[in-house]
Amino acid sequence: MLKLPIYLDHNATTPMDPRVLEAMIPYFVENFGNAASRNHSFGWQAEEAVDYAREQVAQLIGADPKEIIFTSGATEGDNLGIKGVYEMYASKGNHIITCTTEHKAVLDTCKHLEKLGAEVTYLEVQPDGLVDLKQLEAAMKPTTILVAIMYANNEIGVVQPVKEISAIAKKHGALFFTDAVQAVGKIPVDVIADGIDIMAFTAHKMYGPKGVGALYVRRKNPRVKVTAQVDGGGHERGMRSGTLNVPGIVGFGKACELSRLEMAADTERISKLRDKLENALKQIDESYVNGNPAHRLPHVSNISFKYVEGEGLMMGFNKDIALSSGSACTSASLEPSYVLKALGLGDDLAHSSLRFGLGRYTTEEQIDFTIKAVTDTVLKLREMSPLWEMFKEGIDIDAIQWAHH
């Protein structure tokens, strides 16, 4: 029996794997020690658990455990990574390069630094969502201290050419930071092979608990340091003070281990389901897949259904299917997705988009149900859409003088 509602919003968050919960449970009531307590067994037990988790996390990304700084999540990691480099390397320069499709945690951090005197270049992306390497190269300056480009995009799932980007940064003596929230645990990420200097990621996007994440900070070639943004007891090699969230960290470690062991099998299964969904929905007239299809996360599909509005579309099935839209009406700002607009999509296509994010527990039955529900609703709403009628009559909608309100 198909159980409703169906969850297809795994880019927002993932359910916790029961095996992760099981690993965490002893660290709430029984082994509750503070990992920084050096003088008794409660502290030692907690420290041992954190050390083990640190290894599990490091192993997933090819890092040394000493290079893992635990945080409260990727927003904190983005802040610490970018602000920490800006402060630490102030004598070297003040120029940061990022791109327009970054997460707000990166963009708003950069805006904050601009107020403090940073010079920030926001690279435009190409229509497929990828950064143009020539543009990046041209933007590099002697004062560039940091290139901050995400590993994979949260809305359209495109995977940036991280190796090439990090090589350009290195060539010009700048550090490379990446927000890898959507990539780690989903596709192979290797900090050595990818040339990453600093990387933020989080547990809850990979079947771990919310409220815990990590910042990878390279220790060799080059040795990177970030200035702490929270002052206190000097935890995490002085870069992030605050009592460690031991159960969360234990869960994060377990989630990393499971992802490492099961990634290949998960990817094979989930990408087949994603392709089935996408191929079926592409059969609908005037539907467009957003983002480069060859360089994309295996579980994500972002599709615009022209002439129907995203929120109206979701209303047709949102009691049964949970997903998200780039439509303005789903945001408080009434502006459609800035990521889709950055691809050069017209506002009308940005308003008409749905993001499907599949996950570890997505079944073929759920995908079949989704294909039917989305197709039926698109067709129903088009019968109700004046734009669809005009399109069918051959009227050029772009040529109409619309009264903007």
Partner 1 sequence: MAYSDKVIDHYSNPKNVGTLDKSSKSVGTGLVGAPECGDVMRLQIEVDQATGIITDAKFKTFGCGSAIASSSLATEWLKGKTVDEAVKIDNMDLVEELNLPPVKIHCSVLAEDAIKAAINDFRVKNGLTELVFEQSHV
Q: Which residues are catalytic?
A: 329
End-to-end Cα, the chain, rounded Å = 47
Report the 3 state secondary structure along 77-126.
Answer: HHHHHHHHHHHHCCCCCCEEEEECCCCHHHHHHHHHHHHCCCEEEEECEC
Nearer to partner 1, 294 or 399 (CB): 399
> How many residues would you count in the chain?
405
* Whole-angstrom distance, CA of residue 393 vs CA of residue 243: 65
Q: Choose which of 43, 62, 238, 346 interacts with partner 1 (CB under 8 A).
A: 346
Shortest separation between residue 351's beta carbon and partner 1, angstroms: 4
Q: Is 347 in the site for partner 1 (CB under 8 A)?
A: yes
Q: Choose which of 334, 394, 396, 399 interacts with partner 1 (CB under 8 A).
A: 334
* Whole-angstrom distance, CA of residue 85 vs CA of residue 110: 12
- Which window, 56-64, 178-186, 229-237, 342-350, contacts partner 1 (CB under 8 A)? 342-350
Which of 186, 175, 274 lies closest to 216, judged by CA? 175
**HSE-CB for 111 with a 13 A CA cutoff:** 8
Query: Binding marks (x or -) toward partner 1, 162..201, rule CB under 8 A?
Result: ----------------------------------------
Query: Binding marks (x or -) toward partner 1, 308..327, rule CB under 8 A?
Result: xx-xx--xx----------x
Nearer to partner 1, 275 or 347 (CB): 347
Shortest separation between residue 316's beta carbon and partner 1, angstroms: 8
Place of tokens 């050029």: 396
Q: Is 65 in the site for partner 1 (CB under 8 A)?
A: no
Q: Is 405 in the site for partner 1 (CB under 8 A)?
A: yes
Nearer to partner 1, 209 or 310 (CB): 310
Nearer to partner 1, 297 or 328 (CB): 328
Nearer to partner 1, 216 or 317 (CB): 317
Residue 236 DSSP label: G
Q: Is 396 in the site for partner 1 (CB under 8 A)?
A: no
Query: Binding marks (x or -) toward partner 1, 361..390, rule CB under 8 A?
Result: ----------------------xxxxxxx-
Tokens representing 294 are 């060859």
- Count Cβ atoms below 10 Å from residue 103 Cβ, excluding itself: 20
Q: Is 329 in the site for partner 1 (CB under 8 A)?
A: yes
Shortest separation between residue 327's beta carbon and partner 1, angstroms: 6
Are β-strands 95-99 and 144-148 bridged in parallel, bridged antiparallel, or unpaired?
A: parallel
* Whole-angstrom distance, CA of residue 56 vs CA of residue 51: 9
Q: Is 1 in the site for partner 1 (CB under 8 A)?
A: no
Shortest separation between residue 384's beta carbon and partner 1, angstroms: 5
Shortest separation between residue 128's beta carbon and partner 1, angstroms: 22
Contacts 24+ apart (CB under 8 A), 276-282: 276/364, 276/367, 276/371, 277/301, 277/356, 277/358, 277/367, 277/370, 277/371, 278/303, 278/356, 280/371, 280/375, 281/305, 281/371, 281/374, 281/375
Q: Is 223 in the site for partner 1 (CB under 8 A)?
A: no
Shortest separation between residue 342's beta carbon and partner 1, angstroms: 16
Q: Is 3 in the site for partner 1 (CB under 8 A)?
A: no
Are β-strands 213-217 and 68-71 bridged in parallel, bridged antiparallel, or unpaired?
A: antiparallel
Give the dihedral sign, CA 187/190/196/198.
positive
* Whole-angstrom distance, CA of residue 299 vs CA of residue 290: 14
Nearer to partner 1, 224 or 350 (CB): 350
Q: Which residues bind to partner 1, rule: CB under 8 A?
A: 307-309, 311-312, 315-316, 327-329, 332, 334, 336, 346-348, 351, 383-389, 397, 402-405
